[in-house]
């Protein structure tokens, strides 16, 4: 019973149920290769959801992640075109992502501009910058080196590298959030900013670090995305930021900050991923995707609110109050 | 024996208020010092000075005889002073162990938080204070008593030398209070210097070794608990200061206006019965958290009672929202002025007319001339000091903000006005203006309820006083029984002196 | 009783000195500067018909921006407005296929807009959920329904006369949209600045608890505000569908950001509590003229969006930097 109170468990059960329902009619969906495929497809969403979850923990929101991803992906593709070695490309993509995240973070920290305004602005600026760099031209598969394209698809122990990156991120950030002072600071800053100041934390600085993490993950995902789909252009991952926020909300991350877990965000992403992959299998038009994830967000936020209703003040003695 | 912590000549003022005037306080290792005083005596200000949140204008803070300054909250914590507040400020989403160690967690060789050491340490600390809490529980799932224990364990984890317990029993049950006493004994045995702040005399006599009394921001006296009697402490606490003079009252009490019968709420109050008359000022006295404000907020439609009836002029009125309360003629000046009363970003006149727009305007449209007219009338009556009526409310002093909030309600021409701690935190001048005005209102036939924790105010202004404790009406005090002693004893639950 | 106290003047500053220092004044100066630059930059700018064409750049968004401004002043936000346009347009397309005439199309359009607003309003005001997440959800939901209906298809062939809303002219160069925009500007100015409803909006945005403690029916006001954004989105959808003559599920993508930018540029505090309709009108003109000017210079639209992003952050950042904050 207490296990069911954890929303991660509930969500995992919901995902299991979903997979099972699909599998009743289409047993092939349950094959390992198919499940690996679902996970792999969902990996970019998982990576960004982890970053977004940390930002939301600190009472902020990062709407610029998808634009950040697209810009870093384009830069990676262009660097590849000019012959930069792959490891350096990876490092630069992540560094650029961190830098773009830091721009958001500094505006939030130093100028105290609400994060929603900052990231609404930077999302158009980052995406516009891609156009300025390329004049709207695409970088196509034949313009990319083969090792650049091969890395995310390379299979190690049955899983593609892209999936391994997601797995690694899940582990690294679970450790970061649960086992380091910084990780606990993210929770404290979002959960009770006043008390956090009394325990010696700098709220703005912590928020800035959250944006840098989110940015770095977006940069990394930018390379993976462009390499896997072997194409880079202005509009890749357009609107993806909403799926990322949706994954977090479905995963029980409180939009008011201070509550949530990596497991929740990952499961939220997987929930959306399973739906997206199952729809074509069961023969429902993929055009249903958007409405389903929209409904899922609304249901999840209503569910979160119902769970976190705080009881009123108790003045009467318990035995009296019971009457 | 030398005090661990010694304050001398501490003064702190806010615009219009001298919160502390040259007070002194000594805390000794292994002893509990009770700080006693009414609301507004300066107890919470001194706690904020001790924890580095306020910097005093004058005075010295010595630790082991060495002068110190607490420039920030962290500086005070580093110096070994830690406070456990009424509403403990910790992190609901983190575990018990994490709350205890946040900011100074033990690390493994890899630099990660050593969760086992953290859990073991938390367990050890909790055991040392006799608390059997699972360190892995989420703090938000605990009751207030357990949160106190966690806060105390956190204090111990930082090797605090001075522990301030600020009204620690306010929200605790009997059993929990008993456990707290044992805990205080444990802390004493560990040599901590403890400052214990409480309104409740039985507690003070039970656990304190020494006492210090403040009144109106001034030091009144100190001594050993063994030499004190209840009567002596009550005397020191309530001794009427000379500069507080209350306006003459007319005492023209008319017909009943408001009748409340068998009014109950699932968790906040039970079986409230009283009648309020035209021209009467009815005082509600009690300790903080006795349920007075909760009753008033239910009458004003903020919360919904489970049972009971409210009659205005004999007619039953159902009040489910503030809108309906105002329509029924009941208005409420809240205690939490910043959050519930004043809309600081709006100009004065817009604050005043907000509930009266239906009257100043015409079919939903505003008429500014009428609004200024109405605001001018009422702000003038309250002797408001402001440079113009379209000045932002937030730019005024607390006392003047309070006058605007009161003006807002009078402009609605209510039948019943409820004032919840109407003079809390405002300067003497504004206080007198508010008192004078209340007397005027009653004389004009308005029915007034005044919730107050300041005994001189309650006695000086009220025709009758209802005393509440733990969500119930304990006593109704009239005539010759209206003395400070009666109120203090009833509210704290001590038998009357022989 | 004694009439104590001195008389307090109603106002300290005259309206004129106050107006000169306001954000709207800065916007006015910016608008004039943009106008002058544009007229030098391109010989085609100072032409009544060209200028009239330019207004189509902002009229539809500005109609929504009026309601959005009130919503943001009250401390909420609606990110689903562009998706409401898509859903409204789709509903009208379905009705058109079923043979509805122009009046019925308009009724269906406005009705669908109100319905969407009611959904948001119920979730936020009725259930007390945070508006930013709710409207991110309904943003996907509303447009998602359009995708379910249309997929990659489009509705075309709206009846004769329907084109008037987006392409018709009331008199000379004054298009129906421009006249409607002006009428709505006046209506919203009156609603926000001259009615007790508008006053309640400011009160809630400044301090919702104190507003409730002053007898304001906070949930009701919030609900009505969501109805208004739904309704104005419906109106904008009618104009846009009429102007384009077709409905695709991707219609009006990204409008919500431009609308929010317009509102914030117009001086409305994103944290709620302050702002004016005049500011939004001026911001709409500035954004429209900059878009038009860039268009005359053949600058692509996406560069325009960078400019808007910089503008959005800049207008908030610069005053804070100057204050040393």
**Which chain B residue has the Cα nearest residue A323?**
B266
The residue with tokens 């908030």 is C316
pLDDT in tens, B67-119: 988 887 778 878 888 888 755 567 888 889 988 888 788 888 888 888 889 99
Q: Which residues of chain C make contact with A61, given a CB cutoff of 8 A? A: 132
Pull the structure tokens for residue B87: 């509403």
Q: How distant is the alpha carbon of residue B60 from its chain centre?
A: 27
User: B371 falls in which pLDDT band (50, 70, 90)?
Assistant: very high
Residues on chain A touching C324 (C-beta within 8 angstroms): none
Residue C260 contacts A where some CB pair is shorter than 8 Å:
yes
Q: Does C322 touch chain A if contact means CB atoms closer than 8 Å?
A: no
User: Percent of chain C scored above 70 by pLDDT?
Assistant: 94
> Which of B351, B357, B341, B259 has the alpha carbon at shortest distance from B308?
B259
N residues, chain B: 498
C94 and C158 in contact (C-beta within 8 Å)? no
- Residue C13 confidence class, pLDDT cut points 50, 70, 90: low
The DSSP H or E segment spanning B334 is none
User: What is the rounded distance in angstroms from the CA atom of residue B410 to the CA atom of residue B331?
Assistant: 9
- Percent of chain C having pLDDT more than 90? 63
Which backbone phi and psi does B27 adopt, to 5 degrees?
A: -125, 135
Report which of residues A282 and A298 the model is more confident about.
A298
d(CA A256, CA A242): 17
Which residue of C6, C18, C203, C214 is the best one to mutate when testing the B interface, meaning the one whose CB has the most B CBs within 10 A? C214
ipTM of the complex: 0.87
Contact C312 A292 (CB under 8 A): no
Determine which helix (DSSP H) or strand (DSSP E) holds C200, and give its type and residue range: helix C196-206
Q: What is the CA radius of gyration of chain C?
A: 21
pLDDT, one tens digit per residue, over C16-66 is: 666 666 788 888 988 898 889 888 888 887 888 888 888 888 999 999 999
Task: Answer with the residue of higher pLDDT: A185 or C297.
Answer: A185
Do A259 and A191 form a contact (C-beta atoms < 8 A)?
yes
Summarised one tens digit per residue, pLDDT across range A87-106 is 999 999 999 999 999 999 99
Q: CB distance from C308 to chain A under 8 Å?
A: yes
Average pLDDT (A213-231) is 96
Enclosing H/E stretch for C212: helix C208-213
User: Within 13 Å, how many C-alpha atoms sit on residue B274's CB side?
Assistant: 27
Whether B354 and chain C come into contact, CB under 8 Å, resolves to yes
Among residues A252, A175, A213, the alpha carbon closest in space to that of A94 is found at A213
Model confidence at C4, pLDDT cuts 50, 70, 90, reads very low
Contact B270 A316 (CB under 8 A): yes
Decide if C210 touches B, using CB distance below 8 A: yes
Nearest-CA distance A22 → chain B (Å): 36
Q: Which residue of C has its CA nearest to B383?
A: C5
Q: Which chains touch A (3 or more CB pairs under 8 A)?
A: B, C
Answer yes or no: are the C-beta atoms of A279 and A72 closer than 8 Å. Answer: no
Instruction: Indicate yes or no: CB of A181 within 8 angstroms of CB of B103.
Output: yes
* DSSP annotation string for A72-92: HHHHHHHHHHTT--HHHHHHH
Report the residue from C129, C147, C300 with minimal CB separation from A305: C129
B120 in contact with C at a CB cutoff of 8 Å? no
Q: Which positions ≥6 away from B54 have C-beta within 8 Å?
A: B12, B45, B48
pLDDT of residue B417: 96
Chains that touch B (3 or more CB pairs under 8 A): A, C
- Token pair recorded at residue B145: 């008593």
Is B437:B382 a contact under the CB 8 Å cutoff?
A: yes
CB C150 within 8 A of CB C248: yes
Among A204-213, B221-230, B487-496, the range scoring the smallest mean pLDDT is: B487-496
- Nearest residue on chain C to B408, alpha-carbon basis: C214
Q: How far away is chain B from the Cα of C138, in angstroms, using its nearest Cα?
A: 29
- Tens digits of residue pLDDT in A150-179: 999 999 998 999 999 999 999 999 999 988
Give dist(CA C15, CA B125) in Å, integer: 65
Contact B389 C8 (CB under 8 A): yes
Ordered DSSP codes for B166-197: ESTTTT--HHHHHHHHHHHHHHHHTT-EEEEE
- Chain A residues in contact with C271 (beta carbon < 8 A): 114
Mapping DSSP to helix (H, G, I), strand (E, B) and coil, where does residue B6 land?
strand
Contact B400, B384 (CB under 8 A): yes
- Under an 8 A CB cutoff, do B381 and C215 touch? no
Q: How many CB atoms lie within 10 A of CB C100?
A: 17
Smallest CA–CA separation between B70 and chain C, in Å?
26
């Amino acid at each position: 019973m207490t296990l069911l109170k954890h929303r991660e468990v509930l969500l995992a059960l919901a995902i299991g149920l979903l997979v099972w329902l699909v599998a009743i009619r289409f047993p092939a969906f349950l094959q390992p290769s198919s499940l690996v495929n679902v996970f792999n497809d969902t990996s970019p969403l998982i990576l960004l959801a982890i970053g977004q979850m940390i930002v939301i923990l600190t009472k902020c929101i990062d709407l610029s992640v998808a634009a950040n991803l697209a810009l870093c992906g384009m830069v990676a593709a262009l660097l590849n075109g000019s012959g930069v070695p792959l490891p350096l490309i990876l490092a630069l993509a992540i560094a650029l992502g961190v830098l773009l995240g830091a721009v958001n973070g500094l505006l939030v920290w130093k100028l105290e501009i609400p994060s929603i305004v900052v990231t609404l602005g930077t999302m158009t600026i980052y995406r516009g910058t891609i156009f300025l760099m390329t004049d709207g031209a695409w970088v196509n598969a034949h313009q990319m080196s083969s090792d650049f394209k091969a890395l995310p698809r390379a299979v190690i122990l049955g899983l593609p590298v892209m999936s391994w990156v997601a797995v690694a991120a899940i582990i690294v950030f679970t450790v970061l959030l649960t086992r380091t002072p910084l990780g606990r600071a993210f929770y404290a800053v979002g959960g009770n900013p006043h008390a956090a100041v009394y325990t010696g934390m700098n709220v703005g600085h912590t928020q800035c670090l959250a944006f840098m993490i989110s940015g770095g993950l977006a940069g990394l995902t930018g390379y993976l995305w462009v390499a896997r789909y072997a194409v880079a252009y202005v509009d890749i991952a357009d609107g993806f930021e909403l799926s990322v926020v949706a994954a977090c909300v479905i995963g029980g991350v409180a939009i008011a900050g201070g509550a949530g877990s990596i497991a929740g965000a990952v499961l939220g992403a997987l929930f959306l991923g399973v739906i997206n992959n199952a729809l074509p299998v069961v023969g429902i038009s993929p055009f249903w995707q958007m409405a389903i994830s929209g409904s899922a967000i609304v249901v999840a936020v209503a569910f979160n609110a119902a769970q976190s209703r705080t009881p009123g003040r108790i003045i009467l003695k318990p035995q009296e109050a019971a009457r | 024996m030398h005090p661990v912590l010694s304050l001398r000549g501490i003064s702190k003022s806010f615009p219009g208020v001298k919160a502390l005037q040259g007070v002194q306080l000594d805390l000794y290792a292994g002893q509990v010092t009770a700080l006693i005083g009414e609301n507004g005596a300066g107890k919470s200000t001194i706690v904020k000075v001790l924890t580095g949140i306020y910097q005093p204008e004058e005075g010295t803070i010595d630790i082991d005889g060495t002068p110190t300054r607490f420039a920030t909250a962290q500086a005070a914590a580093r110096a070994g002073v830690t406070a456990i507040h009424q509403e403990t400020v910790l992190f609901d989403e983190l575990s018990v162990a994490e709350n205890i160690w946040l900011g100074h967690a033990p690390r493994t060789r890899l630099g990660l938080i050593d969760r086992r050491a953290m859990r073991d340490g938390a367990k050890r600390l909790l055991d040392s204070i006799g608390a059997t809490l699972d360190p892995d529980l989420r703090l938000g799932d605990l009751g207030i008593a357990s949160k106190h224990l966690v806060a105390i364990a956190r204090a111990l984890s930082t090797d605090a030398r001075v522990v301030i317990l600020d009204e620690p029993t306010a929200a605790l049950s009997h059993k929990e209070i008993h456990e707290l006493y044992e805990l205080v004994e444990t802390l004493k045995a560990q040599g901590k210097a403890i400052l214990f702040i409480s309104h409740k005399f039985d507690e003070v006599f039970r656990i304190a070794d020494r006492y210090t009394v403040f009144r109106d921001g001034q030091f009144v006296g100190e001594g050993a608990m063994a030499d004190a009697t209840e009567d002596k402490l009550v005397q020191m606490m309530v001794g009427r200061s000379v500069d507080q003079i209350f306006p003459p009252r007319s005492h023209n009490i008319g017909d009943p206006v408001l009748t409340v019968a068998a009014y109950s709420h699932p968790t906040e109050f039970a079986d409230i019965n009283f009648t309020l008359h035209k021209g009467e000022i009815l005082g509600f006295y009690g300790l903080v958290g006795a349920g007075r404000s909760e009753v008033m907020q239910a009458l004003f439609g903020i919360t919904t009672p489970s049972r009971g009836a409210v009659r205005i002029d004999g007619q039953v009125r159902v009040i489910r929202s503030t809108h309906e309360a105002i329509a029924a003629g009941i208005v409420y000046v809240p205690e939490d002025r910043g959050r519930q009363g004043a809309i600081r970003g709006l100009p004065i006149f817009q604050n005043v007319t907000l509930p009266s727009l239906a009257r100043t305007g015409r079919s939903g449209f505003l008429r500014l001339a009428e609004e200024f007219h109405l605001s001018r009338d009422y702000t003038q009556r309250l002797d408001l000091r402001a440079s113009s009526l379209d000045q932002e409310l937030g730019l005024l002093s607390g006392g003047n903000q309070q006058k605007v909030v009161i003006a807002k309600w009078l402009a609605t021409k209510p039948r019943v006005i409820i004032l919840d701690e109407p003079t809390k935190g405002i300067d003497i001048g504004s206080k007198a203006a508010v008192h004078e005005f209340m007397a005027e209102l009653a004389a004009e036939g308005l029915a007034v309820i005044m919730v107050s924790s300041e005994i001189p105010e309650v006695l000086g202004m009220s025709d009758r006083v209802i005393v509440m404790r733990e969500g119930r009406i304990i006593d109704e005090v009239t005539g010759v029984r209206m003395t400070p002693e009666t109120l203090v004893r009833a509210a704290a639950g001590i038998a009357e002196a022989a | 009783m004694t009439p104590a106290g001195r008389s307090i003047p109603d106002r300290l500053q005259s309206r004129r000195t106050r107006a000169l220092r306001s954000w709207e004044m800065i916007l006015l100066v910016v608008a004039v500067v943009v106008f002058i630059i544009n007229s030098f930059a391109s010989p085609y700018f100072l032409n009544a018909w060209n200028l009239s064409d330019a207004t189509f750049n902002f009229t539809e968004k500005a109609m929504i921006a009026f309601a959005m401004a009130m919503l943001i002043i009250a401390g909420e936000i609606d990110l689903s407005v562009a998706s409401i346009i898509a859903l409204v347009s789709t509903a009208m397309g379905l009705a058109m296929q079923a043979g509805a005439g122009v009046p019925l199309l308009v009724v269906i359009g406005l009705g669908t807009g109100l319905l969407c607003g009611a959904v948001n309003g119920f979730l936020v005001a009725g259930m007390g959920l945070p508006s930013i997440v709710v409207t991110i959800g309904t943003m996907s939901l509303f447009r998602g329904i359009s995708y379910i209906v249309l997929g990659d298809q489009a509705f075309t062939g709206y009846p004769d006369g329907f084109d008037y809303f987006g392409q018709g002219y009331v008199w000379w160069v004054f298009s129906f949209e421009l006249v409607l925009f002006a009428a709505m500007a006046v209506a919203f100015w009156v609603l926000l600045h001259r009615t007790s409803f508008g006053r309640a909006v400011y009160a809630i945005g400044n301090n919702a608890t104190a507003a409730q403690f002053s007898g304001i029916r906070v949930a009701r006001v919030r609900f009505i505000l969501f109805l208004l954004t739904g309704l104005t989105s419906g109106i904008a959808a009618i104009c846009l569908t009429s102007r384009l003559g077709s409905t695709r599920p991707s219609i009006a993508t990204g409008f919500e950001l431009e609308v929010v930018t317009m509102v914030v540029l117009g001086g409305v505090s994103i944290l709620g509590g302050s702002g004016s309709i005049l500011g939004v009108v001026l911001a709409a003109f500035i954004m429209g003229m900059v878009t038009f000017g860039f268009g005359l210079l053949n600058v692509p639209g996406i560069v325009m969006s960078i400019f808007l992003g910089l503008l959005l952050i800049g207008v908030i950042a610069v005053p804070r930097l100057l204050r040393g904050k």
